[in-house]
Structure formats: C-alpha cells, structure tokens
Amino acid sequence: MKRIMLLLALLPGPREPAQVNVRLSEWKVELSQQNIAEGPVTFVVTNSGQIPHAIEVEGQGIEKEIETIQPGATGTLTLTLKRGRYEVYCPVGEGSHKKLGMEARLTVGSVRTSESTGYDGSAMGDAPAVQAISVTGGGPVVQILPGPFPFPDSAAPILQAFGDEREGLESQVKNGPYSNNVGRISGTFRFTAWDKGATRDSVDGIAEFTTQDGARWRLVLDRVQTKDVPHHPRFGGVILGLFYHGVTQVHTPLVPTINSAVALWAFGHLYRKGTLVTDNAMVHVMLLSRTRRDGDFALACWDCSRNKIEELQLQILPGPGEPKFDAPGGFLF
Ligand SMILES: [Cu+2]
C-alpha cells in the first residue's frame, strides 16, 4: 500500500492550466503576462470598461473567442497553446474596438524573432494600408437644422448606458443636429487627415459655406482633438476605417450605425462674415456610409453600415465652455 502511494505521487498529474488575467477597458487589452509556457492556459477576463467587450485569441492556426462580457463581469477561456506568437484582441464592433487599441500580444514558449510565422501584422490584416486621406466634398451642400432625431425608439435602449451624458443626448433626440429638417446651401469643403497613432494625428482643411440665414462662414482645421471628445466612450484624433455610432454603443447613437473611411475630431478656427468667432470650435468630420437619401436628405436607415461610403459630414459645435453660436451643427458636402 505504501509503495503504491509513493508511485502515484511521482506520476506527473494533468498539468494545471497557467492563468493569464486579462483586463478589458476602453480601449486597452491588458495581460498579466505576455510570455507563458506551452500548454493549457486559462484566460480570466474582466471587463473593467463601460461597454460590452470580449477577447479573441488568434495565431498558430487558432482563432477562439469568448462570449461578450458585460461591464463589470468576468469570463474565462481555456485553451491549449503551442509555441508561437498570438494576438489577443477584442472582436466586438467589426474590428473597431481592435482599431481603437484593444489588442495585445502573447508569446507562448520561447520564440526567436525570425520564427514569427503566423504572426505578422500584414498577414493578420491589422496594418492599415492607408495612413493619410484627402477628401473633397462634391455632392449637394446641405445644412442640417435643429429638429427631432427620426429613430428615437432605436436610440433609447443604447442611451441607457451613457451615464452622465444621457441627459444631454436625450435633449438632442428631441431637438438636435441629427434631424430630417434640412436646407440646401452652398459651399466647399476639403481636407487631408493623417492617422499616425495616439498623439501624432493631424489634419489640414478648410470649409467655406453660406448658411440659410445668408451668413458666410469659414472653418480652418489645423489641429486634431485627441482628448475630451464629449462622447462615450472617449477617443479622438484621426481614425481611418471605423464601424461605430448607432447600435455599437460607441459614440452617439443619434447617428445611425455606420462605417467610415475616415473619422476625425478637431478644434477649428471659425469665422463668420470674416470675423473670428472662436479658435476652439469642436469639429467632427466623417466620410461615411450613406445615411441620408437623395432628394429630401432625410435619414434613411438606422443601420447604414453596409451602404456605400460616399457621404461627407461636418459637425461644428461651440468649444468647451464657450457660448452657442447661431449656426446649427451639421452639414453635408
Ligand atoms: Cu471591445
């Protein structure tokens, strides 16, 4: 009996999975360790953010994801990983969470750099092919006047998660720059935007237009806004290729769900009839999948993400703490 006990103690038991703690938030995936041994591993994933997230582990022929985790909740994923490099990212939002920074790298076993087969930025499709974009408006120029948002019931459940921004957004549902109340105006808009990472994004552009009241406006864009974009969850600067708004819970749901070729946030120098109004107008520009129909330019869809990317939107709002100006926020070029 004694001999058998000893034998059992010497036998290698099933290996306990290694544990990697993963913390998800906007817009980061943080791993407790970036290097682990080959074999079984359990990812203990906590969503510390404000919106639902998930993880997908990809590399060496593996592509496994966890079910979506609600804010504050935890989930686990156990995998057996062989030696190599892996990518751990959030698959929510058709790639937009990943694009906003929710990705991390994990190395299993010891891997020499020359052996990075199966993990390579371009092969994984995560290296943006375009770093800059130049856009010139060419369509009818339309001013979006204040009015009710046409899909209030679709936006209502999304707004539940917006915390202290909810009240302001709910007032914009009733009367805001996302309405079907539009007027034809004249003007031009062109810009170039550079997507160079968290702090080096840049923009150079100019919009000139005459609003319905006959006032001539000029907006000069020469710097992006990377912080304090007043939308949940926060991000700014220049982003090329982003699926957001609407049902995504990313930024206001008073814009339908869209796909954008470029989205940017900038501070603009705004002039009215040649006089400087502000150097800090808050500007949001998107070249996006079409949301408005021909003719009356009414919002035509709540999910517009599959439409052709051909709508150029410009939104100009007063800077933080600055008084309202008498031009409403939204324009199409
Ligand atoms: Cu996410």
Domains of the chain: 2-115 (2.60.40.420), 132-332 (no CATH)
CA of 21 to the centre of ligand 1 (A): 16
CA of 209 to the centre of ligand 1 (A): 38
1 — pLDDT class (breaks 50, 70, 90): very low
pLDDT at position 235:
77
Q: Say which amino acid occupies 264.
A: L
CA of 52 to the centre of ligand 1 (A): 6
CA of 216 to the centre of ligand 1 (A): 42
CA of 74 to the centre of ligand 1 (A): 14
Tokens standing for residue 67? 């079910």
CA of 56 to the centre of ligand 1 (A): 10
What's the rounded Cα separation, in Å, for the pair 295 and 142? 11
13 pLDDT above the threshold of 70:
no
CA of 215 to the centre of ligand 1 (A): 43
CA of 102 to the centre of ligand 1 (A): 7
pLDDT at position 114:
52
CA of 326 to the centre of ligand 1 (A): 38
Where residue 157 falls (left for φ over 0; alpha for ψ -120 to 50; beta otherwise) is: alpha
What's the rounded Cα separation, in Å, for the pair 285 and 256? 15
CA of 235 to the centre of ligand 1 (A): 13
CA of 247 to the centre of ligand 1 (A): 14
Provide mean pLDDT across the span 121-133.
55
pLDDT at position 124:
42
CA of 49 to the centre of ligand 1 (A): 9
126 pLDDT above the threshold of 50:
no
CA of 192 to the centre of ligand 1 (A): 29
Residues with CB under 5 A from ligand 1 (ion): 53, 90, 92, 97
Residue 110: half-sphere exposure toward Cβ, Cα within 13 Å: 0
318, with CB counted inside 10 A (0-12, 13-18, 19+), is middle
CA of 13 to the centre of ligand 1 (A): 37
Quick: pLDDT tens for 192-232: 999 887 667 899 999 999 999 999 999 999 999 876 566 66
